[in-house]
Structure 1
Amino acid sequence: MRKKRIMIIGPSRSGKTTLANRLNEYEGPLRRTQDVIYGKKTIDIPSSYIENAGMYKHIISISQDASHVLLLVDSSKQHQVYSPGFAKSFQCPVIGVITKMDLMLENEALSLKELKATGVGEPYYRISALKGIGMEALKEYLFSTE
């Protein structure tokens, strides 16, 4: 049986790679790429995959190797990223993560609205991967069943 990883999906510069590095306990430099990156515990999906609906089938296919899917919403940039009901495409649990919470607290309600429209149910995690805010609660949830 293949090892299940945590799939991370989000718009460009939403903190996907920083979050993946934290979950993988990697302290090296950030690597930006247009390729899917399989980490020790994560699958980092390039933002171009969600910006093109034609790539959705590839995301869904890759998710077969995922224990969980994290859908990221960047609180510092408010624009609709995901198609309505997108979260319903996955067979594994989908968790809503609001990133960069330390930058734009006033956008929390808009971020929650986007996650709900995407089809993600509660609980929602509010984090700043760069500063470590909310990371312990997210890790506890993700790794409690290992």
Structure 2
Amino acid sequence: MRKKRIMVIGPTNCGKTTLVHALNDHEGPIKKTQNLIYGKYTIDVPGSYIENAWMYKYLISAVQDASHVLILVDQSKCANVYSPGFAKVFRCPVIGVITKVDVNPENEANCLRQLQQIGVQEPYFKISTANEKSISNLKDFLLEKVMRAENEIYYRR
């Protein structure tokens, strides 16, 4: 059985790779993601997989390696790149994350509405690289969820 990871998806420049580095405890330079990158705990998905509908099939194929999906919405731009009900194509739990919450706070309501329209249930996490506590809270939540999911799989055997 393959290790399940947390899939991180979102539009280009919304902070996916920065978040992935934090979740994987990776120190070092951040490079633009051109392909799916399987990290210690995550799958980093390039923005092009979301921004080009013809690539959805690759995204849906890769999600079989995921225990959870993080769908990111960028508060600094709040561009709507997801189709209505998009989150419902995934069979694993989907968690909504609003990134760059320290930029353009007037966009928060639009970001929340967008997460609701694409079918992501609350709670939503609001994170910023300027606030390490926000990322730490998300990390703790995910660790608890992933550990619980792994234990359920182990005990079903």
TM-score when normalising by structure 2: 0.89
**Runs of 4 or more above 3 Å deviation:** none
**2:120 matches 1:106:** no
Equivalent residue for 1:7?
7
Percent identity of equivalent pairs: 60
| AA aligned opposite 1:65 | D
Quote the Cα distance in structure 2 between the aligned partners of 1:115 and 1:43: 20
Unaligned runs of 5+ in 1: none
Q: Please state whether the residue corresponding to 1:134 is helix, strand or coil.
A: helix
**2:40 matches 1:40:** yes
Equivalent residue for 1:127?
127
Quote the Cα distance in structure 2 between the aligned partners of 1:54 and 1:115: 22
C-alpha contact (below 8 Å) 2:17/2:33 kept by paired residues:
no
C-alpha contact (below 8 Å) 1:69/1:92 kept by paired residues:
yes
What's the Cα RMSD here?
1.1
Equivalent residue for 1:25?
25
Equivalent residue for 1:76?
76
Pair member with larger Rg: 2
Quote the Cα distance in structure 1 between the aligned partners of 2:131 and 2:39: 21
Quote the Cα distance in structure 2 between the aligned partners of 1:26 and 1:61: 26
Quote the Cα distance in structure 2 between the aligned partners of 1:57 and 1:85: 16
Equivalent residue for 1:49?
49
Equivalent residue for 2:89?
89
Q: Please state whether the residue corresponding to 1:84 is helix, strand or coil.
A: coil
More helix by share: 2
Equivalent residue for 2:65?
65
